[in-house]
Amino acid sequence: MDKTILNHYFHSLFPIEKGTVEKITLAFHYFELPKNACLLEANTISTETYFLEKGYMRSFILNEENEEVTTQIYVAPCFVNDFLSFFKQHPTKETFQTLTNCKYWKTGLTNVQSNFHTIPEFREFSRLLLVINYDKLNDRVIEMASQKAETRYLNLLKQKPDIFQNVSLKIIASYLGITDSTLSRIRKETSKM
């Protein structure tokens, strides 16, 4: 399989020589999952890390009423995983599910640890990826605490308009922390603007 998108992702975040990237991705293996498949179940230990090459995914938890609450929506290309579960080998708290047919590359913890110890550029890339993911998570926490639902909706529409063609409104509403009917009302009101 062609690793062009995977290799390009490494180059897009950090200047790494082509040969080094090819060495990093050598032990990545391709696979596909259909829509609504589970990549990683809650309360399991993540033994592999995944690069989402094509498609849309989400992570979710079950609240006290046993309702699904979407914690993140992933848009390719990106790495997808419960990184704490992967590196610490603890059970994950979230379920990771495909929202469309998805294409992936995966590799195991042994390969990642080997890359950390033998490829300095991989360490730098990983640090940068950690900072980027922390920044996204921090922004999301601040948005949820400080912005009205309408503002969160408009920001998502502006930043990732394709989500609305590929992800159900029920899941988008859950991700925004609102009900389906509230999302419907906001969409109706903002369409008149």
DSSP 53-80: EESEEEEEEE-TTS-EEEEEEEESSEEE
Domain covering 4-145: architecture: Sandwich (2.60)
CA of residue 9 relative to chain centroid, distance = 14
Q: Are 104 and 53 in contact (CB under 8 A)?
A: yes
Cα dihedral sign, 160-162-166-168: positive
Q: What pTM value is reported for the model? A: 0.91
Written as tens digits, the pLDDT of the chain (193 aa) is 799 999 999 888 878 899 999 999 999 999 999 999 999 999 999 999 999 999 999 999 999 999 999 999 999 999 999 988 999 999 999 999 999 999 999 999 999 999 999 999 998 988 888 899 899 999 999 999 999 999 999 999 999 999 999 999 999 999 999 998 999 899 888 877 6
Half-sphere exposure of 83 (CA within 13 A, CB side): 11
Domain ranges of the chain: 4-145, 147-193
